[in-house]
Chain A
């Protein structure tokens, strides 16, 4: 297809393609979660089975369809990862969950041939025990407002034509043909869009600063280096709707007068790299990217670069260093990248999700964007909901939504370690990854926004929401994040490099029973020093998990220190295994199981554990049939 064909298609108003034709569609989620659960096998079986019952399998977009055609396509992540592989049938509006290859025959024969619903494959709401037919009556989806994610679960990420048919690239075209850079910046500023990568900096202001620089070489970079462990929304957007990212980049490039863009993707996301690269090639072939963007004579290039595994590269200046082929170490701001960034040229760096919002703002206007969310934090935000909840997955809600709605309602409730529902199991929610904090039940009615979270010592961050149940030791959680930031500290600032190491050592003291009365004060003082004495966001926020757990779970720290006890039993060094003399019948099973010979005792008499020899492995407790071993 030539450049002009692409333009002709773009000139047509976007039509709801599937609504106009009778063609039924079967959409298989091909997100990472569903793929790992065997989505490809299901896809292949669909292809065979549809063919077998005498229907036509249509794999590509067609303007017209016969009444025996069924379009079979893959989509990006549909969000409900826990229940995958997911199969959506439209226009029926049915969502089948946990579909195995063996189930395909039934779906084809019942749903595609006779139009019935296969009840047993529908999601069953654990609260009402009712089957949910589609998205509307499914509590996981019904409370969401999916804007960035909606197309991810619907469009074929490898088909640029489908994206275009659904209005894709119309905003980029408008930006290039009908709007001046000033107007674009003004609209983005008016929309109140704030960076979705963590800091929440107003996007319009960033663009305006770069636009004001004198004309010449400028760059736009898409930050897809999603390093927060426990967040995968950027991955899903890059995999599920790569063209929306490119469209956002194009609008940003037009706004600041850049002719070069770059997508920096995290190395652990091979599928995102592949899909982004393919999307760039397709967009070039259609004349959307290249030397003559929409026939304006302007040129725009887009490169895809794979990161090399460094969390600190999510920081703007470190990412620039990495792109220039150096160690990813941040530099002081100012100069801000918008003034002097990549190769000393004005550069703006936006998160994947931020860019994915841009086209909608240009198409629908800033007021429409502002109509949802809160005045300070307009729009929607995606969250990666994980941890001890029934429904893990990707969630998109307007800012201002209460934490409770996500953590207890959309999540389907808190679960125990085995995944079974746990009544009153909620203990804390860790929000914002290694830069964020742990919040408690008291914060559940907090309306989510950049500022409300910062006020309580957490942050939106990239949007990781990890729910923790009562069996989680909060000191260990703080240690987990500290170990991560300590490992990822680039080493430039002394307080970050050495401070995080010492914070980690202090937490180890608490966990291993060496801490004393002064440890908590020291943790707090050092934590605040690291915040003040670090150059970039990594160090400035690294103590947040420790400080927030100290603030809200101080009692648990004190139990570790003064009572040498971990209430969850997860801190091994604090375990004190003892044999209950009344229960022990002296059978000797524990003696046999003990690897260090720490248990002694005569036959048929209560046994005894020597605390000096005991390594607290718990083998005796497992071996004992009478549950006589306590404290493990």
Chain B
């Protein structure tokens, strides 16, 4: 039964991909918009989906992986619930964006290599330029742009989200604990 469940799950997963592929007429030239749409759906590009896309478009998987790894926009790993992007374009850089990055890394226990927190709540990234140079240094949390940042203001923002998550999800968190207790 468990296997059947997984199979149904997988069919469901690929059904969405099929819709996307159909939207682009299974054209290999549409590979980049297709991957963008897939990423929009799953927040990242799962390996099995990439293989599925390659087979469906009649492309070598290496070509699809090549494209997926070439462009900075594509993520091969799942991101956290909140994505914090620190702009390190020239304008932000000369206005000291790196101390902000270090402060956030330190606060969340993330690093250049380990970008997502253990609880999968936050992903911390740098971005080359957001084009909001007039507000440098700039921080973007889930598409909301914050300008003229300092390490203190940035960590306060992240703190706010953490607090909201804690109060908002306390019920859900409680449920998980109960659930685990139940299993035990």
Which positions in A face B, CB cutoff 8 Å? 32-33, 35-37, 81-82, 84, 226-232, 235, 266-270, 305-311, 322-328, 384, 386-388, 392-394, 417, 430, 433, 464, 466, 468, 472, 477, 480-481, 484, 488, 490
* Contact pattern, B 142-167, Cβ under 8 Å of A = 1, otherwise 0: 01011100000000000000000000
Contact B36 A308 (CB under 8 A): yes
Flag if A227 contacts B94 (CB, 8 Å).
no
- Taken together as a complex, chains A and B put the C-alpha atoms of A307 and B130 apart, in Å, by 14
Instruction: Give the chain A neighbours of B96 by CB distance below 8 A.
Output: 417
**Bound CA–CA A592/B94 (angstroms):** 32
Q: Is the CB of B145 within 8 A of A32?
A: yes
What is the CA–CA distance of A267 and B134 in the complex, to the nearest angstrom? 19
The chain B residue sitting closest to A464, CB to CB, is B90
Q: Find out whether the CB atom of B28 lies under 8 angstroms from the CB atom of A325.
A: yes
Determine whether the beta carbon of A308 is less than 8 Å from that of B129: no
Besides A32-B135, A36-B146, A387-B91, 5 other CB < 8 A contacts? A307-B71, A308-B71, A384-B133, A386-B90, A466-B91
Q: Is A227's CB under 8 angstroms from B128's CB?
A: yes
Contacts of A310 in B (CB 8 A): 70-72
Cα–Cα distance between A81 and B91 once the two chains are bound (Å) = 13
Residues from chain A with Cβ under 8 Å of B72 in the complex? 308-310
Q: Is the CB of A269 within 8 A of B131?
A: yes
Q: Are B131 and A268 in contact (CB under 8 A)?
A: yes
State whether A305 touches B143 (Cβ < 8 A). no
B109 at the interface (CB under 8 A from A): no
Distance (whole angstroms) from the CB of B2 to the closest CB of chain A = 37
Shortest beta-carbon distance from B98 to chain A in Å = 10
CB-CB nearest in chain A for B129: A229
A230 contacts B66, C-beta separation under 8 Å: no
Least CB separation from A84: chain B residue: B134
Give Cα distance in the complex from A484 to B93, angstroms. 12
A306, A309, A392, A430: the one contacting B134 at CB < 8 Å is A392
Q: Which residues of B contact A324 (CB under 8 A)?
A: 29
> A477 to B94, Cβ gap below 8 A?
yes
Residue on B with the closest CB to A33? B134
Complexed CA–CA distance, A393 and B133 (Å): 8
B127: chain A residues within 8 A (beta carbon): 268
A81 touching B90 in the complex, CB below 8 Å, given contacts A311-B128, A324-B29: no
Known: A325-B28, A325-B67, A326-B67. A33 touches B129 (CB 8 A): no
B70 partner, pick from A327, A384, A394, beta carbons under 8 A: A327
Asked whether, in the complex, the Cβ of A433 is within 8 Å of the Cβ of B71, the reply is: no
- A308 and B73 form a contact (CB under 8 A): yes
Residue contacts A-B, CB under 8 angstroms, 9 given: A33-B147, A231-B133, A232-B134, A268-B131, A309-B71, A309-B72, A325-B32, A328-B71, A417-B96
Chain A neighbourhood of B129, CB < 8 A? 227-232, 268
CB of A226 within 8 A of CB of B143, answer no
Closest CB in chain A relative to B144 CB, distance in Å: 8
Alpha-carbon gap, A392 to B147, bound state (A): 13
In the complex with contacts A308-B72, A324-B29, A325-B30, A33-B132 CB distance below 8 A: yes
A306→B128 contact, CB < 8 A: no
Q: How far is the CA of A227 from the CA of B135 in the complex (A)?
A: 18
**In contact, A33 and B135 (Cβ under 8 angstroms):** yes
Contact of B31 (CB < 8 Å), options: A228, A325, A386, A393? A325
Q: Complex formed: what's the CA distance from A608 to B108 in Å? A: 34
Q: Which residue of B lies closest to A234 (CB)?
A: B131
CA distance A460 to B173 in the complex (A): 55
- Any A CB within 8 A of the CB of B74: yes
Are A230 and B133 neighbours in the complex by a CB distance under 8 Å?
yes
A477 to B94, CA, bound (A): 8
Contacts of A84 in B (CB 8 A): 134
CB closest chain-B residue, reference A313: B71
Q: Which 7 A-B pairs have the closest CB atoms?
A: A81-B134, A230-B90, A229-B89, A309-B72, A308-B71, A386-B91, A232-B131
The answer for the CA separation of A296 and B74 in the assembled complex, in Å, is 42
Nearest chain-B residue to A79 (Cβ)? B134
For the complex, what is the distance from the CA of A269 to the CA of B133, rounded to whole Å?
A: 13
- Most A C-beta atoms less than 10 A away, residue of B29, B32, B89, B91: B91
Instruction: Give the interface centre of B28, B134, B135, B138 by most chain A CB atoms within 10 Å.
Output: B134
* Given A229-B129, A230-B89, A232-B132: A37 and B95 interface contact (C-beta under 8 Å): no
Of A307, A384, A484, which is within 8 A of B128 by CB? A484
Q: How far is the CB of A519 from chain B (nearest CB, A)?
A: 23
For residue B35, which residue of chain A has the nearest CB? A308
Residue of B nearest to A306 (CB): B36
Instruction: Report the separation of the CA atoms of residues A334 and B120 in the bound assembly, to the nearest whole angstrom.
Output: 49
On whether the beta carbons of B94 and A322 are closer than 8 Å, the reply is no
B136 in contact with A305 (CB, 8 Å): no
Task: For B74, give the chain A residue with the smallest CB separation.
Answer: A308
A328, A386, A393, A433: most-surrounded residue (chain B CB, <10 A): A386
Q: What residues on B are CB-neighbors of A326 within 8 Å?
A: 31, 63, 67
